[in-house]
Structures are given as structure tokens and as C-alpha cells.
Structure 1
Amino acid sequence: MGHFSINSTHSLRGRLRHTLAALLLVSTSTAAMAADQVPMTIVINQSPWFAGFQKAVELYQSETGNTVNLDVNPFAGSLEKQRAAVRTGESPYDVLIMNAGFFIEFYTGGFLEPLTNIDAGFKLNPDIYTFDDSVYWNSETKQIDAANGDILSVPINPFLPLLHYRSDLYEENGLSVPTTWDELYANAKALHNPPAMYGISQRGQRGAFDVTFDVLPYIWSHGGALYADQKGGDYTVTVNSPETLAGMETYLKLAKEVGHPSTAGQTQTNVIQNMATGQAAHIQGVPAPALFDDPANSIVVGKVNYAPTPGTAEHPSSPPLGHWLGGIPKNIPDDRKTAALAFLTWFQTDQAQRAYAEAGSPPVSRAVLTSELADKPEFRYMKALADSIPNARLTFVIPEASQVLAITELRFNQAISGELPLKEALNTAATEIAKVMTDSGYTAPTLPPLE
């Protein structure tokens, strides 16, 4: 999808003014502080939560009178535009909506303006989650550093997986919400009745950051990882550790015994459709509750509930962060930086976060996720999300993430499809990841191959 201006979409403006006014208006003082800014442009990806963000932007415009343009693209297209923008003489974009898998390359490249350089008094709202301290960056040590780092971004969306389950079928069959993979397997087996109903539908298709994202909860909750300790600077490659192997074996057990027959070909869209059309008893995915409760898109309205991803007896639920952060590039004029920061400051307010949530997008505010909204049926995902965020972990804190993901996306997919035996796929991935790391100057020892 190409570039467009919400301001120019008059019919949309009218509809959204009518509906969002009923949600919650931003306070006069907050709107006044943000008013009279130069026009700004945000580059963003098309995603299940985009509609909520779009409506929040529309509310910001109607409350402040400021102009915001949205340049909307597929995931990979948005990333490439951002990479090009920060390397030109002047970025055409004022806010970059960066994904958890790739924001580090913008941090390490020095492409983002520390937000306190724009406004010395800027602070992150204490109700906003920092998502494993991902908003802080120490440019000297090149590390995530909440104590000594600059604030380089503001969280935009808490993109992390939750377990989705058919609450009506749980009630009919007397099932309890699982907290371990073994419990999930037992529940999925009880409901598995192919081809009418699959016990679980899992994403296994290779993409930019697809199958890797979905297998990490299995791997981490078995004590495995891609590296020994990225945040601590230990880049020993552990993708072929016994613990990582155990996590992948659990994933494959579910896929083969109670899952979709073509798990290796399942995209995020496929998985969501399987739930929405009543063909999956469970999925693991980012919350998109408005979709499942929309009669035009779903036959399971009111029948999908949410829980944290399972863990094991030894390791609790540990979901990966695929969240989104808004950063301001250095290579734009000061007045555009000020306009961008005005929007990001407004976006953190309780009023904005409530409107964002009520427009269909999961908020990044602890206060909103744990508010009375969570007791309403349409926001029933909020409690599971609030329980999950404290245990969520960054997937990558190295700028070579895209190179590593190219390896893991291929090798995990080959293991799931049966193109390569699991141990061979993990050993191959370890060798390839180690080469990427050593070629980039890291010390990256490997483990003995799995036999």
C-alpha cells in the first residue's frame, strides 16, 4: 500500500470523528501542547493493529489540528524504506515505526535522535511498558541500558504472542486453561477432529520474521536460545543445544499429532483464518480480538479467549517481543523533529491509549491494560497480555538480525516440513549463524553438533 494522507480522506475523517468522539477526547491541555506543529509523515507497516493506529492518528489530528501523513507498506517494504531514509541527505519520514527484530540496526547506526535532545524535559510516561528496556540505548557501550542509556524511541504496539483457545469448546469438554505445553497437547488432542477441526494451527512458513517468532516460545520455555546471552554479550551459538532441540521437538509433536497437516506452509494469515472459520481449537498469535469478534470475518464471535503462551515445569511462559517502536531520524529539520515528538508525547497519554484500545489495537499502557476495560468482553485479551509482557524478551540485540533470521527462517521451516532432519537443521543453522557473527567481528563459539 502506498503513501496517503489521512487529512485528505474526508469521508473517513467524518466517520472517525463520530466514533472516536464517543471513545474519549484528549484533554484540552494535552492537545494544546501538541498544537501548531508542521506537517509530519510516519512510515509504518500494514498489520492487524494498523486500523487502530490509523484511528488514533485521526483523533490526534482532529484534536490538535496538526497534519499527519501515513506511508503504509508491507512489513519488508516498510523496513527497506526506513533503511533508505536514514541514509539519505534528508529523511522523508519523521517517525519510523520499527519492529523488534530490526530496531537495533537503527540504534547501532546512530540514525535516531535521542528524544531528550529534541526536548530536554521529555520523559517516558511511567505507565508505558519499556518492553525489556528496548527504548534505552547506550551509544558508547552499544547496549540496551536502562540506567545509562538515552531514550531513542516510544513503544507503539505490544506485538507478542498469546495462546488463543476456543472457550466454548473448553466449557463443553470441561477443559482447563493450559499453563504447560503438555497440558496444551492434552487439550488439543481432546479437540482434534481433522479435517473439520485441528487441535492447533501453528505458523511454520518461512518469511522475514515468521516461523522464528513462533517457535521461540517453545525454545525459550525449554531453556534453549539462539545465543547464550545476547544482552550480556555472550554470543555463543546455542541454536543446536539440547534445550533448543527439546523446544523444537515439542513444537513438532503438536504439529504432527494434533496440528494442521501442512504446518510448514501456514502463514500468519492462514493461522488466523483457521481460527476465524472454526477449524482450529488453538492458535498462538498476536491478539487481534476485533477480527474474531467481527461477524463479517468470523464464525466464532465471542468464542475465542486468551492466555499467556505455555511454559514447562522448569521454565515459565516466555514469549518473544515482536513489538513496535517509534523513533525519530536525525536527518530531518528541527521543526519536524519537534512535530514528531509532539505526536509521540501525545500517544503516551492515558486518553490516547484508551482511544487506541477502543479503536481495536492493543495499547502499550499498563494502566489501560489493567483498567476496568479489561473486564469488558471485547477487551478480554488484556489480562493475558498484561500477564505476558513482564516475561517477554527481546529476540535480537544485534544489527545482524536480518542475516541471522534469513538462516533461522529457512532451517526451522526445513525441519518442520521434513526437508531436513531436525538435528541436521539445527546443526546447519549453528554453523551458518556462527559464520555471520565471526564475519561481523564477534566472538561466537559453537557447541558440539547434535548427534
Structure 2
Amino acid sequence: MLFRNNFAKRALQTTVALAALTGTAFGPAAAADQEPITIVINQSPWFAGFQAVVEKYEQETGNTVELDVNPFAGSLEKQRTAVRSDESPFDLVIMNAGFFTEFYTGGFLDPLNAIDPEFKLSKDIYTFDDSVCWDAKAVRITCETGELMSVPVNPNILILHYRSDLYQEHNLSVPKTWDELLENAKVLKSKNMYGISQRGQRGAFDVTYDVFPYIWAYGGGIIDQQEDGSYRISMNSPETRAGMEMYLKLAEEVGHPSTAGQTQTNVIQNMATGRAAHIDSVLAPGLFDNPDKSAVVGKVDYAAPPGTVEHGSATPLGHWLAGVPMNIPDANKKAALAFLTWFQTDAAQRAYAEAGSAPVSRAVLTSEMADTQEFRWMKALADALPNARLTFTIPEASQLLAVTELRFNQAIGEEMPLNEALNTAAAEIAKVLEDAGYKYQKLEDLN
């Protein structure tokens, strides 16, 4: 495998013999003699698992895959440039849930059945709120009338991580609501431990992503599409404010003293080093059970994020989708499909989980693997996924996120009062929608 990484420049060429695939419908003939492909991808907690699966693909097929690895924002910019060039240097683009609509609406991806009419999404693979399909005529996400545009490569939803050993010691129950979590966090907070560690730093899709479970649990949102296709700006609704008040209450009473500066890496490390009793984060189970990287091996357990009695639990889809650019040679498109076909197999999905990353296969998440200590996180993921929701479904998502990332961060860092931050963001979102020609409804300012 060729491996390009902006963090550590190195290249590794693995030459392997073609090996037959057994136990799946995907045989060696479908994978053999494919063109080398390049995948542009982000550096993330689940990347190591994906890398391991790519290595397994190469070993089993003899095909070559190059990974172009970048920070989140850098990967997105490379994708945007690539699909608009004369010929993309990437044969698969790994798109995030916050931005994939931009690539669909722009017509930058080839429908997968246009490459191969026989290609299918496995019945065991989640569609993640139909985000794998796009109806270009209706301009909407739907698998009822839309074409298959992508294959999921990682679920990447927020899951509650908690110290199961401390729960047992203090006879605590897994929280179903944010109020219950707050009470548990108060019990576990100490001089050397935060009751909870929350991500609050501004980024490309950072703090906005992590506050969704709070604001949705209280009936809030950012923009909500209505029946007539118009949008209601709910950023400064009383419900969104209530969700943010709970986030801030946790941060102030039991959280990190500098929550506004906490990145995803900080949050995960706070749990791994024994400094946090709870985090609501994307899964990185391989890290927490690795004795070389974790001080809490076997002490972290998992559950669906808390909610409220009125609205239940909800988690944002921050999943990743693999799409094939229009502007690459046909042979490369077929080679990309060969990899995606293999990636969907039960064997590949199990190997993905064994490498420490979450699979996108329902069959694997509900298999006998979930009953083991090593894969105890699978049940939490399977419980949370039915309530996972798409966040932004318009191509102007990056403009909306530029607003929300700043204003949420300012509210958390006390640079701006909460009401003012939400009202300011709502006005700025209205400007984005107005400039793009959308019909929308704006609420009265919060007092």
C-alpha cells in the first residue's frame, strides 16, 4: 500500500500475490487485475481501522491502494479541488455527512450504477437516513427515487462513554437523560477527574456536531426543512437555548475548566488518561482497551447518548461516505467499485471491527461479536443508530457551519451571552439562506 500522510511523510509499497476470497459472494475474478486507486481521506480516530482493512484488501486481491491522508479541513479542500479539475487525482473521495450534499448537487460524482448496472449496496449496510442516494431531478436525498451515489465507510456517531468501574463502585445506573448524567457526573467529579469532558473548540464541524444531542433532546435545532420545502431557522428557538443551557450547566458544574478550548483529541485523551468520567464522542474503542495508550483498559463502557423524557435520545450523523468522481478514467471507476464491493462483505466488516473501528454492517453490529467484552461497544452503536439524524442537507453547509462554529464557541467561552450568540447566528444563517435563494422563516429574537 502506498501511504501519503501530511503528518508524517512516508511511503510503503507492499507487493502481494493474488489470494482467493472465500466465504463471500465477491470472488477473486471481480477484484483481479484492477488499476491502482488513490483514496483521499481524513485523519480521524477510526482511520487506523480503515488502513488495516485496505491492507487486507491488498493482501487478498493483489491490487494497490494509495491513501492520501489529511486533517479534516484539508481533506475536504482537496476533494473540492479534485472534482472540479480536468481529472481527479483521487478515485474515491471519503465525504463527511456535513458536506456530501455539496458533491451530489454539483454533479461531481458518478452514480454507482452508471459505472456498473449490477452494483448493489449490501442489504446489511446501513443507508444512514438514505444519505447514500440522490434524486437529481427532485433535488433531494431519497433511496425511493434516487440513484445510489456512495457507500458508507464509517458510522461516526456520538456515543456516551462512561467509566463502568466507577459506576459499579458507586452503584450508578446508566443515564437515559441529561439530568441523570449531570447527577452521576457530580458523584464522580473529583480533584483529579472531570465529571464530563466536552468538545467546545471551533473547527470545520466540531463544536456544532457535539452540541446536536443536547439541542435535539430539548426539541431544538439549527435549520429545519418544512413540508413545503422552505426552512425554519430554529437556531435561536427557546428549545435550542434549553439544550445549550444543559450543555453549559454540565461544563460549568462538572466539566473541564476550559471547555471552549477542548478538541475531539483532548476529549478522547481525557478519557484515556483517566481524567474524565464521561465523554460523548465518536467511538475509539481500540484506543481505550490498548494498554500502551490507555490507563483505563477494560474500564470504559458505552451507551446511546442521553436525551429527555419529552424528546428521547438523538445523535447526529457524522458518518463518512465513499463516492467516485466523474472526472476519472473508466478503468479507475471500476477499480474503485471493486474495492467498495469487497469492503461491504461480512469478512471485511468483521476485520474492520477487529482493527478497532466501527463497521457499517448491521449484521456485524448485531452478531455474536457484540456479546464479547472486546466488542461491547457494538450494542450501544446498534441502539443509537436508529435515532441518528442528518444535520445539514443543503450545499451551503460549510457557510452555515462557519457561523455556528464561531457562535457556539463564543457562548461556551463566555465571549458572548448565550441569547446574543444564538440571535446573532440566526441572523447570519438567514443571510446565507437569503443569498442562496431559499425560502425561510426566522423567529423573533430571544430576550
**TM-score with structure 2 setting the length:** 0.95
Matches within 5 A, 1:68-147: 68-147=65-144
- The offset of 1:295, in angstroms, is 1.2
Q: Distance in 2 between matches of 1:25 and 1:399?
A: 41
1:201 alignment partner in structure 2: 197
2:51 alignment partner in structure 1: 54
Please give the secondary structure, in 2, of the residue aligned with 1:59: helix
* Cα-to-partner distance string for 1:16-39 (whole Å, 9 max, x where unaligned): x9xxx9xx9764853332211111
Letter in 1 for 2:346: D
- The offset of 1:299, in angstroms, is 0.6
1:8 alignment partner in structure 2: 13
1:282 alignment partner in structure 2: 278
* Cα-to-partner distance string for 1:206-245 (whole Å, 9 max, x where unaligned): 1111000000000011110111227973312110001101
Q: Distance in 2 between matches of 1:258 and 1:55?
A: 37
1:450 alignment partner in structure 2: 446
* Cα-to-partner distance string for 1:104-155 (whole Å, 9 max, x where unaligned): 1000000000000011111110100001110010001111011000000000
Gaps of 5+ in 2: none
Q: 2:403 aligns with which of 377, 383, 407?
A: 407
* Cα-to-partner distance string for 1:260-301 (whole Å, 9 max, x where unaligned): 111111111111111111111000101101101111111100
Matches within 5 A, 1:137-216: 137-194=134-191, 196-216=192-212
* Cα-to-partner distance string for 1:318-356 (whole Å, 9 max, x where unaligned): 000000000000011111100001111111111110111
Q: Distance in 2 between matches of 1:348 and 1:228?
A: 33
The 1:102–1:29 alpha-carbon spacing in structure 2 relative to 1, beyond 3 Å, is closer
Judge conservation of contact 2:230–2:438 (CA < 8 Å) in 1. no
1:322 alignment partner in structure 2: 318
Judge conservation of contact 1:112–1:152 (CA < 8 Å) in 2. yes
Q: Distance in 2 between matches of 1:416 and 1:210?
A: 13
The 1:28–1:323 alpha-carbon spacing in structure 2 relative to 1, beyond 3 Å, is closer
Q: Distance in 2 between matches of 1:180 and 1:434?
A: 32
2:373 alignment partner in structure 1: 377
Letter in 2 for 1:123: K
The 1:126–1:5 alpha-carbon spacing in structure 2 relative to 1, beyond 3 Å, is farther
Q: Distance in 2 between matches of 1:333 and 1:265?
A: 44
2:231 alignment partner in structure 1: 235
Q: Distance in 1 between matches of 2:418 and 2:424?
A: 10
Please give the secondary structure, in 2, of the residue aligned with 1:121: coil
Please give the secondary structure, in 2, of the residue aligned with 1:41: strand
Judge conservation of contact 1:157–1:362 (CA < 8 Å) in 2. yes
The 1:87–1:58 alpha-carbon spacing in structure 2 relative to 1, beyond 3 Å, is same
- The offset of 1:5, in angstroms, is 8.8
Aligned residues: 441
- Residue 366 (1) aligns with residue 362 (2): yes
Judge conservation of contact 2:24–2:346 (CA < 8 Å) in 1. no
Q: Distance in 1 between matches of 2:436 and 2:277?
A: 44
Q: Distance in 1 between matches of 2:175 and 2:49?
A: 30
The 1:86–1:264 alpha-carbon spacing in structure 2 relative to 1, beyond 3 Å, is same
Gaps of 5+ in 1: none
Q: 2:343 aligns with which of 347, 355, 376?
A: 347
- How high is the sequence identity, in percent, across the aligned residues? 68
Matches within 5 A, 1:223-262: 223-229=219-225, 233-262=229-258
Please give the secondary structure, in 1, of the residue aligned with 2:308: coil
Alpha-carbon RMSD: 1.9
Letter in 1 for 2:51: Q
Judge conservation of contact 2:69–2:75 (CA < 8 Å) in 1. yes
Please give the secondary structure, in 2, of the residue aligned with 1:51: helix
The 1:150–1:230 alpha-carbon spacing in structure 2 relative to 1, beyond 3 Å, is farther
- The offset of 1:377, in angstroms, is 1.1
Letter in 2 for 1:8: Q
Compare the two structures and name the one with the higher helix fraction: 1
Judge conservation of contact 1:4–1:69 (CA < 8 Å) in 2. no
Letter in 2 for 1:189: K
Q: Distance in 1 between matches of 2:128 and 2:434?
A: 29
Q: Distance in 1 between matches of 2:30 and 2:304?
A: 38
- The offset of 1:62, in angstroms, is 1.0
* Cα-to-partner distance string for 1:72-95 (whole Å, 9 max, x where unaligned): 111111111100000011111100
* Cα-to-partner distance string for 1:170-219 (whole Å, 9 max, x where unaligned): 0000000001011101100111113x011101000111110000000000
Judge conservation of contact 2:215–2:240 (CA < 8 Å) in 1. yes
**Structure 1 stretches of 4+ moved >4 Å:** 3-7, 24-29
Please give the secondary structure, in 2, of the residue aligned with 1:399: coil
Q: Distance in 2 between matches of 1:261 and 1:225?
A: 26
